[in-house]
Amino acid sequence: MVRRTTLRSSSKKERVDERLLLVFLFLLVGGLIMVYSNSSILAESRHGSQWFFMKSQFLWTILSLAAVYLITRLDIRKLAVYSVPALIIILVMLGMVFLMPARNASHRWILLAGLSIQPSEFFKLMMVIFLAFSLSNARRDITRWKQLIFPYAVLISLGMILIILQPDLGTAMVIGATALGMFFLAGARITHLATLVLPMIAGGCALVFGLGYKKARVTTWLDSVLDPLQGSYQVKQAALTLGSGGILGTGLGEGRQKLFFLPYPHTDFAFAAVGEELGLVGLFALLGAYFYLLKRGLAIAMDQPDRFGFLLASGLTLLLFVNIALNIAVVTAIMPVTGLPLPFISYGGSSLLISSAAVGLLLNLSRREVPNHA
């Protein structure tokens, strides 16, 4: 008796992953609410209107939704061919930021048509697309040391160096961790990855303790490891803000730490502000939304019919996870202050647009053809 296996023709999913879409919309709406709640007093004080930051964030939200709608209808595989020239253009933009006026002693933004664009955010996303496309090439063998170094280590290291010089160590850490994760998933040898990590650690130590790059932040963080109240002013206020919310919080809009006690309650320390106003319940709801978003991203990755889709979905999910984890680690004094925004919740147009684009790509991949087996 001969056993026969029938392979049905592939069928294209007509709709995107609705569960991912719903949690994304939940985070968008929640982000708008928290941006207004955390920034209205600061906006009134500095700009004469409590809606100053909210109006900008709302505009970026509309642009982000439009970007997601467009991305879900593109042929990502065909467009990924252009990821190399796109990455080179972004590298040029990373150099251009040093020609722009500094903000808070940093050169991170390019002013374009009245909008502030942060090229490092675009570099993160394009790096993931580039790696997914290149590493899915059957002729690539990254178990060989030379193929891991050229062109990957060269391009990514150049971008990270430019970002560190801005200075923006947090984004460079996100890029490095995401790239290493993608190399691991693509089959790179652990010994090779360790060889890449060790110089990065040594270089970071040399920058901080040798050249004094962000040394004050690191030393104050070391002081706060055992007791957050012994750390810097930012660390102290973040700890007090998180603790003051209790179980249910002070109530939406009723937080007191945003009254010029907690620095950057609408950007870097938005997670702490959520904890104060919505309490432990609100933090669990936010973390639950993040967990479900990341879970859907991994499910989409595992459901992909080819290596490119798997690497792209995995890389996008890893990118979001690392960014979320590092921001929360800073707020909870697990690591030094880095200046990273909390995806979807913090104020910031470029961050919101790129995080939304990552979700848009995941939604696009959730519609890809998957073989049906009888």
7-32 per-position pLDDT tens digit: 333 445 568 899 999 999 999 999 99
User: So what's the pLDDT on residue 7?
Assistant: 33
Kindly give the pairing relationship between strand 115-117 and strand 110-112. Answer: antiparallel
Domain with 279, as residue range(s), is 18-365
Query: Looking at the domain assignment, is residue 165 inside a domain?
Result: yes
pLDDT tens digits, residue range 295-347?
999 999 999 999 999 999 999 999 999 999 999 998 888 888 787 899 999 99
Look at residue 13 and tell me if it is in a domain: no
**Segments in the chain below pLDDT 70:** 1-14, 113-114, 207-217, 221-231, 368-374
Q: What is the DSSP letter of 10?
A: P
At residue 146, the pLDDT reads 78
Can you give the pLDDT at residue 91? 94
Query: Residue 150 has what pLDDT?
Result: 79
Query: Which amino acid makes up residue 372?
Result: N
Number of domains the chain contains: 1
Q: Which residue has the tokens 């990514």?
A: 156
In a domain, 371, yes or no: no
Looking at residue 5, its pLDDT comes to: 35
Nearest to 136 by CA among 71, 83, 195: 83
User: Is 287 among the domain residues?
Assistant: yes
**Residue 9 placed within a domain:** no
How far is 162 from 172, CA to CA, in rounded Å?
A: 9
Asked if residue 241 lies in contact with residue 272, where contact means CB atoms within 8 angstroms, the answer is: yes
- Structural domain contains residue 307: yes
d(CA 144, CA 123): 26
Residue-level pLDDT at 372? 47
Establish if 1 belongs to a structural domain. Answer: no
Residue 200 within a domain: yes
- DSSP letter at 373 equals B
